[in-house]
A and B are shown apart, each in its own frame.
Chain A
Amino acid sequence: MQTWKWLYAPKTPFNWRFVRNVLIKTIILFVALNVVCVAADPLPALGKLSAYNPLLGGRERLPYGENPDAAYNLSLYQIDAMFASHTLAGTDKGNEYRVLLIGDSATWGILLEPGDTLTGQINANDYRTADGQPVRAYNLGYPTMSLTKDLMLLDYAMRYDPDLIVWPFTLQSFDRETQLDTALVQNNAERVQNLIERYDLDQDTDDARFVEPSTWDKTIIGRRRALADLLRLQLYGVPWTLTGIDQDYPADHAWRAVDLPEDNTWQGFKPDTFSPDELSFDVLQAGIQVAGDTPVLLINEPMFLSDGANSDIRYNFFYPRWAYDEYRQLLYQHSTDYGWTLLDLWDRLPGVDCYTDSPVHLTPECSALFAEIVGAAILEVAGTQ
Chain B
Amino acid sequence: MTLTHILVFTAAALLYLALLPARWRGWTLFAGSVIAIYWLQPSIRISRMDFIFPTATLALVVVSWLISREPDQKWSREDSIAAGILVILVLLLAFGRYLAPEYRITPSKPPPIFTVVLWLGVVIVAVALIHAAPVKLDLLAGFFILLILVVFAVLKTAPLAEEVSAWLREWQGQPTSLASATELEWLGFSYVAFRLVHTLRDRQIGRLPALTLREYTTYAIFFPAFTAGPIDRAERFLPDLQDLPGLEPSRLVQGGMRIMVGIGKKFVIADSLGYLSLSAAKAEQATSTGGVWLLLYAYAFQLYFDFSGYTDIAIGIGQLFGIKLPENFNQPYLRRNITVFWQSWHITLSNWVRFYVFSPLTRFLLTRKRRPAPNLVAFTGQMSTMIVIGLWHGVSWTFVVWGVWHGIGLFIHKIWSDRTRPYYIKLRTRPRTAKIIEIAGIIFTFHFVVLGWVWFALPDIGTSWDVFLKLFGM
Chain B: minimal CB distance from A319 (Å): 37
**When the two chains form the complex, which single residue of A1, A8, A238 contacts B276, counting CB atoms closer than 8 Å?**
A238
Whole-angstrom distance between the Cβ of A309 and the nearest chain B Cβ:
35
Question: With a CB–CB cut-off of 8 A, which chain B residues contact A242?
Answer: 282, 285-288, 291, 294-295
CB distance from B255 to the nearest CB of A (A): 10
Cβ < 8 Å to A, chain B residues 247-270 = 249-250, 252-254, 257-258
A14 with B286, Cβ < 8 A, contacts A2-B331, A235-B275 known: no
**From residue 1 to 39 of chain A, which have CB atoms closer than 8 A to chain B?**
1-4, 7-8, 13-16, 18-19, 22
Supposing A1-B327, A1-B330, A3-B330 touch, asked if A239 and B253 sit within 8 A by C-beta, the answer is no
- Does A231 reach chain B (CB closer than 8 Å)? yes
Q: Which of B88-112 contact A (CB under 8 A)?
A: none
> Would A243 and B285 count as touching, CB distance under 8 A?
yes
Taking a contact as CB atoms under 8 Å apart, the answer to whether A243 and B276 are in contact is no
The answer to whether B331 and A236 touch across the interface, beta carbons within 8 angstroms, is: no
Contacts A14-B250, A16-B249, A239-B282 given: A3-B331 contact, CB under 8 Å?
Answer: yes
CB-defined contacts of A22 to chain B, threshold 8 Å: 253
CA distance A135 to B329 in the complex (A): 56
Contact in complex: A19, B287 (CB < 8 Å): no
Is A284 engaged at the interface, CB distance under 8 Å to the other chain? no
Chain B CB within 8 A of A343 CB: no
Tell whether B80 is near chain A: CB-to-CB under 8 Å.
Answer: no
Name the one of B254, B298, B329, B330 contacting A14, with C-beta atoms under 8 angstroms.
B254
The answer to whether A239 and B331 touch across the interface, beta carbons within 8 angstroms, is no
Rounded to whole Å, the gap between the CB of A97 and the closest CB of chain B is 29
Q: CB-CB contacts of B318-334 with A at 8 A, as 1s and 0s?
A: 00000000010111000
Do A243 and B287 contact each other (CB < 8 Å), given the known contacts A8-B254, A19-B249, A19-B252? yes
Q: Within 8 Å CB of A18, what residues of B?
A: 249, 253
Contact check, A15 vs B249: say whether CB atoms are below 8 A apart: yes
Contact B275 A238 (CB under 8 A): yes
Q: Is B115 positioned at the interface, with any CB of A under 8 Å from its CB?
A: no
Residue on A nearest B308 in the bound complex, by CB: A3
CB pair B294–A238 under 8 Å, yes or no, is: yes
Question: Is B118 close to A, CB under 8 A?
Answer: no
Q: Are A243 and B282 in contact (CB under 8 A)?
A: yes
CA distance A302 to B330 in the complex (A): 63
Taken together as a complex, chains A and B put the C-alpha atoms of A231 and B273 apart, in Å, by 11
- Contacting residues, chain B, for A13 (C-beta < 8 A): 250
| Closest A residue to B324 using CB positions | A8
CA A245 to CA B287, docked complex, whole Å:
10
List the B side residues contacting A4 at CB < 8 Å.
Answer: 258, 327
B257 — nearest CB in chain A belongs to which residue? A7
Q: Which residue of A lies closest to B253 (CB)?
A: A14
Interface flag for A70 (CB, 8 Å): yes
Chain A positions within 8 Å of B254 at CB level: 7-8, 14
B281 at the interface (CB under 8 A from A): yes
Query: A residues within 8 A CB of B285?
Result: 239, 242-245
CB-based contact A19/B275 at 8 Å: no
Q: Are the CB atoms of B253 and A232 closer together than 8 Å? A: no
Q: Is B28 an interface residue (CB 8 A)?
A: no
Q: Mark B282-318, 1 if CB is under 8 A from A, else 0.
A: 1001111001001100100000000000000000000
Q: In the complex the two chains form, is A232's CB within 8 Å of B275's CB?
A: yes
Contact call B249/A239, Cβ cutoff below 8 A: no
Q: What CA separation (Å) do A275 and B95 show in the bound complex?
A: 62
Within 8 Å CB of A16, what residues of B? 249
Contacts A3-B330, A16-B249, A18-B249; A236 near B275 (Cβ below 8 A): yes
Contact of A19 among B253, B272, B331 (CB under 8 A): B253
Least CB separation from A244: chain B residue: B287
B253 contacts which chain A residues (CB < 8 A)? 7, 14, 18-19, 22
Complex: A60 Cα to B23 Cα, angstroms: 66
A52-84 interface mask toward B, CB cutoff 8 Å, 1 = contact, 0 = none? 000000000000000000100000000000000
Give the complex CA separation of A232 and B258 in angstroms.
26
Measured CA separation A15–B258 after assembly (Å): 17
Query: Which single residue of chain A is at the shortest CB-CB distance from B327?
Result: A1
Give the most central of A2, A4, A16: most B CB within 10 Å: A4
List the A side residues contacting B330 at CB < 8 Å.
Answer: 1-3
A2: B residues at CB distance < 8 A: 330-331
In the complex formed, the residue of A with least CB distance to B285 is A243
Q: Which residues of B contact A19 (CB under 8 A)?
A: 249, 252-253
Kindly report which residue of chain A lies nearest to residue B250, judged by CB atoms: A14
Residues of B contacting A232 with CB < 8 Å?
275
Cβ–Cβ contact A239 & B276, under 8 A: yes
B269 → A minimal CB distance (Å) = 11
Bound Cα distance from A336 to B285, whole angstroms: 49
Asked if B258 and A7 make an inter-chain contact with CB atoms under 8 angstroms apart, the answer reads yes
Name the A residues within 8 Å of B294 (CB-CB): 238, 242
CA–CA, A18 and B248, complex, Å = 12
Contact residues of B between 318 and 366, Cβ < 8 Å to A: 327, 329-331
A134 to chain B, nearest CB (A): 25
Is B286's CB under 8 angstroms from A235's CB?
no
A163 CB to closest chain B CB, in angstroms?
A: 32
Tell me the complex Cα distance, A243–B250, Å: 49
Bitwise, A309-352 to B at CB < 8 A (1) or not (0) is 00000000000000000000000000000000000000000000
CB distance from B241 to the nearest CB of A (A): 20
Q: How far is the CA of A260 from the CA of B249 in the complex (A)?
A: 73
Bound Cα distance from A2 to B343, whole angstroms? 14
Q: Give Cα distance in the complex from A242 to B327, angstroms.
A: 36
Known: A7-B258, A19-B249, A243-B282. A235 touches B287 (CB 8 A): no
Give B312's nearest chain A residue, CB to CB. A4
B288 contacts across to A, CB distance below 8 A: 242
A242 to B292, CA, bound (A): 8
A7 CA / B261 CA spacing, docked (Å): 11
Tell me if A70 and B286 are in contact (CB < 8 A).
no
With A7-B258, A15-B249, A231-B272 in contact, is A243–B331 under 8 Å at CB?
no
Q: Is the CB of B287 within 8 A of A239?
A: no
Min CB gap A214→B, angstroms: 24
A2–B334 Cα gap in the complex (Å)? 12
Tell me whether A70 and B281 are in contact (CB under 8 A): yes
Q: How far is the CA of A7 from the CA of B287 in the complex (A)?
A: 44
Q: Given the complex, which residues of A lie within 8 Å of B329, measured CB to CB?
A: 3
A232 CA to B272 CA in the complex, in Å?
A: 8
Residues in A whose Cβ lies below 8 Å from that of B282? 239, 242-243
How close is B301's CB to chain A, nearest CB, in angstroms? Answer: 13
Please name 16 pairs of A and B residues whose Cβ atoms are closer than 8 Å in the assembled complex, sorted by A.
A7-B258, A18-B249, A19-B253, A70-B281, A232-B275, A235-B276, A238-B298, A239-B276, A239-B285, A239-B295, A241-B291, A242-B286, A242-B288, A243-B282, A243-B286, A244-B287
Given contacts A7-B254, A14-B252, A70-B281, 11 further A-B contacts (CB under 8 A): A14-B254, A18-B249, A19-B249, A235-B272, A239-B285, A239-B295, A242-B285, A242-B286, A243-B282, A243-B287, A244-B287
Question: Which 7 A-B residue pairs are closest in the complex by CB-CB distance?
Answer: A242-B291, A243-B285, A235-B275, A238-B276, A14-B253, A14-B250, A242-B286
